[in-house]
Amino acid sequence: MIKDSFSLRHPLERLVGSETEIIQDGGFGAILAYAGVGKTALLIQLAIYNLLSNNNVLHISLNDAVKKVGLWYKEVYRNIAFQHSIEDQEQLFETLLPHRFIMTFEVDGFSVPKLEERLTELMEQNIFRPHIVLIDGLPFDVSQKESLIELKAFAQRHSLKLWFTVRIQRDETPLGIPAHFNDIEYLFEKTILIQPEGKDIQLKALKGGKTDSEETELFIDPTTMLIKENKWIQHIT
């Protein structure tokens, strides 16, 4: 298959460890940022990496319709393909789609039992069985603690890895991180902050990062919204 012509490096590897150290089954990861800084784009980069690695990705959006999420994937993928001079771009993209399933919920209608019910139907009918679940747009407030505990148990039962986007506010703390996030931080193995620094957009590992000072920072290209990583996709020669 065309996917087999690539050697992959996880885009967050320099920041939080090798592929096997990113998140284990049943683990949680969070991408924290102000509105409009690139949470969804980074989430989709993680999705595309997993798709290229033959992992099934369930993308759950609580903000956007399926069509809009699909357009996000096309845009991010095309930026990656252009950056790395990938040949047969459209053909490769088509091979990824059977490994991706987009699901939408209204924010007020989202609950762990509803998610589990819909996911169980997908798996029992052999429609789709995910390896990683991405949840974009879940509001993180005090009322979500019990739901997150349930979701953690759900992830462990089904051997799933979960990534979330977390919207933060500039005026809550020096980093904008909600104070109540401290009450649920223990549920997360990795937390990544997207933080503008002048003209740069920096990625920082707040939890679960490497200790080597030279390997603890990454940057996002503000034009493409891709991680500035020279070779996270390489052609095999």
57-88 as b/e, with b when 16 or more CB fall inside 10 Å? bbbbbbbbeeeebeebbeebbebbbebeebee
Q: What is the pLDDT of residue 236?
A: 43
| Least confident segment among 37-51, 165-179, 189-203 | 165-179
pLDDT tens-place string over residues 53-92: 889 999 999 989 999 999 999 999 998 888 777 778 889 8
Structurally, the chain folds into a number of domains equal to 1
Q: What is the pLDDT of residue 26?
A: 92
Q: What is the pLDDT of residue 231?
A: 46
Q: What CATH number should be reported for the domain holding residue 36?
A: 3.40.50.300
Q: Where are the alpha helices (DSSP H) in the chain?
A: 13-16, 19-22, 39-52, 66-83, 89-96, 112-124, 145-157
pLDDT tens-place string over residues 85-114: 777 888 989 999 999 999 999 888 888 888
Domain carrying residue 101: 2-235
Q: What is the pTM of this model?
A: 0.87
Q: Which residues pair with 162 in a beta bridge?
A: 28, 133
